[in-house]
Chains A and B, each alone.
Chain A
Amino acid sequence: MLNDVTFGQYYPAKSFVHNMDARAKIVFVIAYIVAIFLADNFYAMAAVVLFLALAVLFSRVPFGRVLRSVKMILFVIVFTAVLNLFFSSVGEDAHVIWEWGILSLSWESIVNMIFLALRLFLLVMGTAVLTLTTTPVELTDGIESLLTPLKWVRFPVHELALIMSIALRFIPTLVDETNRIISAQKARGADFETGGLIRRAKAMIPVLIPLLVSAFRRAEELGDAMDARCYSGSKGRTKYKKLVFTWRDLVGLFVLAALITGVALLNHYLGGKFDILAYFF
């Protein structure tokens, strides 16, 4: 039932992307997201898609595996796309196909919808490549390292990173626990698969309460274990695994710089997203 949770699920492999510095990867993902939203015509979007394809290729994660992370938010994508299709305001000179009250469908809104769906899709795929190729520990180490400047304004960076790594660390544990409780309640005749939305939500109570109880129990045990090992916060703590910036990250940096420049140039010289309609009208 909960086997689709790709988030926080590391895909073990040896690859170019796996070996990159976590900090570099986080920066790349941010830049990549910027590129997604910067791209304003189909050519620039194609460049972003190409970049993603390269990233997936060099990560050696099967394409289907990356695609699985989209499955979770497929509903969100379809929902927002449909809303956009009928409610987007595209200006006076739009090529309207159909209109009814506040609802309207035009060629422009179709283009808008394609862009929106594509952006959401690329967003999730790109971040999935990050979480599939970076262990949660590397990821939080990377975030902690990137946020270090905030320590100057007394922002609890280390604590934040710790909270994140504990949260990520416990996702698989709690997924296992949830599956176990679901099995136990199924064995007692609980039915999670039939009935309407409210019935199904109600059916989850016998799962959520034991899960919550066990999460508190685990938190207490973890607290005790940390106390027993004299954990006392970030002061004077050293790292076992240091993040190292290598040639791979430099290569990545160049490819990414090329992507951003490319997107900007394509945007500038090949017009906006609606220009494609000029071929038809």
Chain B
Amino acid sequence: MRIVAKGLTYTYDPKSPFAAQALKGVDLTIEEGEFFGIIGHTGSGKSTFVQHLNALIRLTGGALKVGDYDLSDKKCRFIELRGKVGMVFQYPEYQLFAETVEKDVAFGLKNFRKGMREEEISAAVQEALETVGLNYAAVKDASPFELSGGQKRRVAIAGVIVTRPEVLILDEPAAGLDPLGKQELMQLLHSIHGSWCKTVIIVSHDMDEIAENCTRAAVFSEGRIAMEGTPAEIFRRADELLALGLDVPTTAKCAMLLRGRGIDIDTDFTCEDFAEKVLALWRAKEGGDA
């Protein structure tokens, strides 16, 4: 599903002293099949934007189309849309509620696919749980509250992907995980991307995460889009990102330091590519010396 936003605006608590304009005209197109990154400060409007995509926040200004769903149309089937656009919130483990993992994961399925047979449901739950790397037989009857933090998060993600949404949105999916957990989670998202969900959108503060994983990204700043493009295009403008008060990937910092010493490296800012380019330079220099 292609996502097209034009001139999106949104104000929280309009007409009160707490009124805050979160979106001030956002134009953004996300193509089907992208692994899209959304970057921005707290309060830059990024969460407000993504919550528009499955109509958790109703459109009040501008136009938004998600696939064939036109969200400015009042007759738009919002519930159906939510089955197609899955959303994993920050700390999704805080949404778990059922007595068993199986029931919790099946919750979305029972809401979106009314009248599904029990065997079909448990088959779908099993597939979802195994996709997120959990042993179905071992966890299905466990209470979600007795699992470890990392396992809870996996269960929560399984509870969203179980309906096979075409677009999967994750808000800070790796927040609070240890480095290994983060790495595993990103691998998991790559395995979901393409096979389970055509499009994956992640909202993140972690620039290394964006540089390593995303095909394209957008930088939100004060309710507008400040930059948009491939990670390589965005992080080439590292100085602008720093001026916006945002971080840049470690590779971009290294590239800046090297540029200050007169060495330009044309990289896409993934660690692998950066290492290759540095190695190539070094080899070229060695060759020249010899």
Q: Please report A residues at the B interface, Cβ cutoff 8 Å.
A: 3, 11-13, 65, 180-181, 183-191, 205-207, 209-210, 213-214
Given A187-B87, A188-B107, A213-B145, are A205 and B97 also a contact pair (CB < 8 Å)? yes
B51's nearest neighbour on chain A, judged by CB, is A183
A217's nearest neighbour on chain B, judged by CB, is B94
Interchain CB contact under 8 A, B95 and A184: yes
- Say yes or no: is B175 at the interface (Cβ < 8 Å to chain A): no
How far is A185 from B88 in the complex, measured between Cα atoms in Å? 10
- Say yes or no: is B28 at the interface (Cβ < 8 Å to chain A): no
Known interface pairs A11-B17, A188-B111; 11 further A-B residue pairs with C-beta atoms within 8 A, sorted by A's residue number: A183-B51, A184-B92, A184-B95, A187-B54, A187-B82, A187-B87, A189-B79, A189-B83, A189-B163, A191-B79, A213-B145
Interchain CB contact under 8 A, B111 and A190: yes
Rounded to whole Å, the gap between the CB of A66 and the closest CB of chain B is: 13
Interchain CB contact under 8 A, A214 and B94: yes
Interchain CB contact under 8 A, B111 and A191: yes
How far is A190 from B104 in the complex, measured between Cα atoms in Å? 12
How far is A213 from B104 in the complex, measured between Cα atoms in Å? 15
Q: Which of B98, B145, B160 contacts A187 (CB 8 A)?
A: B160
Interchain CB contact under 8 A, A210 and B86: no
- Say yes or no: is B108 at the interface (Cβ < 8 Å to chain A): yes
Rounded to whole Å, the gap between the CB of B68 and the closest CB of chain A is: 19
A3's nearest neighbour on chain B, judged by CB, is B13
- A-B interface pairs (CB < 8 A), number: 61
Please give the number of chain B residues whose Cβ is less than 8 angstroms from any Cβ of chain A in the complex: 26
- Say yes or no: is B112 at the interface (Cβ < 8 Å to chain A): yes
How far is A3 from B51 in the complex, measured between Cα atoms in Å? 17
In the complex, chain B residues 81-105 whose Cβ is within 8 Å of any chain A Cβ: 82-83, 86-87, 89, 92, 94-98
Instruction: Tell me what chain A mostly uses at the interface: helix, strand, loop, or mixed.
Output: helix
Most chain A CB inside 10 Å of its own CB: which residue of B94, B96, B112, B163 = B94
Question: What are the residues of chain B within 8 A of A207 when measuring CB–CB?
Answer: 97
Task: Identify 18 residue pairs between A and B in the complex whose beta-carbon atoms are under 8 Å apart, listed by A's number.
Answer: A11-B17, A13-B17, A181-B95, A183-B56, A183-B89, A184-B87, A184-B94, A185-B107, A187-B56, A188-B107, A188-B108, A189-B79, A189-B83, A189-B107, A190-B111, A191-B111, A206-B97, A206-B98
Q: Which of A180, A189, A206, A210 contacts B82 (CB 8 A)?
A: A189
Question: What are the residues of chain A within 8 A of B159 when measuring CB–CB?
Answer: 188
B56's nearest neighbour on chain A, judged by CB, is A183
Given A181-B94, A181-B95, are A189 and B111 also a contact pair (CB < 8 Å)? yes
Interchain CB contact under 8 A, A12 and B17: yes
A9's nearest neighbour on chain B, judged by CB, is B18
Question: What are the residues of chain B within 8 A of A187 when measuring CB–CB?
Answer: 54, 56, 82, 86-87, 89, 160
Q: Which of B54, B107, B112 contacts A206 (CB 8 A)?
A: B107
Going nearest first, the 8 A-B pairs with the smallest beta carbon separation are A189-B111, A188-B108, A187-B87, A209-B97, A184-B95, A189-B112, A206-B97, A184-B89
How far is A206 from B95 in the complex, measured between Cα atoms in Å? 8
How far is A65 from B15 in the complex, measured between Cα atoms in Å? 11
Rounded to whole Å, the gap between the CB of B91 and the closest CB of chain A is: 9
Rounded to whole Å, the gap between the CB of B115 and the closest CB of chain A is: 14
Question: What are the residues of chain A within 8 A of B79 when measuring CB–CB?
Answer: 189, 191
